[in-house]
Amino acid sequence: MSTDVQHAAGEHHGPPMWMYYFVWGLLFVVSAFSYATDFLDRGVLRWTLILFFMFVKAGFIMAIFMHLSYERITLITAILVPPIALLFLIGLMATESDYTWLTRVVYMGEEANPVPLPPPSHAGGAH
């Protein structure tokens, strides 16, 4: 048996075993904090904390359990750049939505709070 095969058989890629247990414990603690946000008032702080804890948990899972922190930078950017770009574009669309609605109300003469149409009546019988 060559030394390359022996070296490859005993080679261990990724974090040591204790790191998995440590991150599992951290995920448990962060999830507890995430569930504790249910006791906060419904507002911006609550949703900010929920999103923060969600991203922290996703980061731990991607870095340790998916072994992303041990990959080359090109693979990391190939995985992380598209979702970040999508979040940026979604943010742009969210900021434009108020502008588009305001433009419709001001320049096209639509009502700011339109009255919904009544439900269609089925009087007159069906054929």
pLDDT digits (tens, 9 = 90+) for 66-89: 888 778 888 878 888 998 999 999
pLDDT given for residue 113 in this prediction: 66
Strands (E), 1-127: none
Question: In sequence order, which residues have a C-beta less than 8 Å from that of residue 75 and are 6 or more positions away?
Answer: 68
Q: What is the dihedral of CA 114, 120, 121, 126, to 10 degrees?
A: 170
Is the whole model's pTM more than 0.85, yes or no?
no
Is the per-residue pLDDT at 22 higher than 90? Answer: yes
More confident residue, 53 or 99: 53
Is the per-residue pLDDT at 48 higher than 80? Answer: yes
pLDDT given for residue 35 in this prediction: 92
pLDDT given for residue 69 in this prediction: 78
**How confident is residue 30, by pLDDT bands cut at 50, 70 and 90?**
very high
- Taking the C-alpha atoms of residue 80 and residue 51, their distance in angstroms, rounded to an integer, is 17
Tell me the pLDDT of the chain averaged across its residues.
Answer: 80
Query: Is 53 within 8 Å of 36 (Cβ atoms)?
Result: no
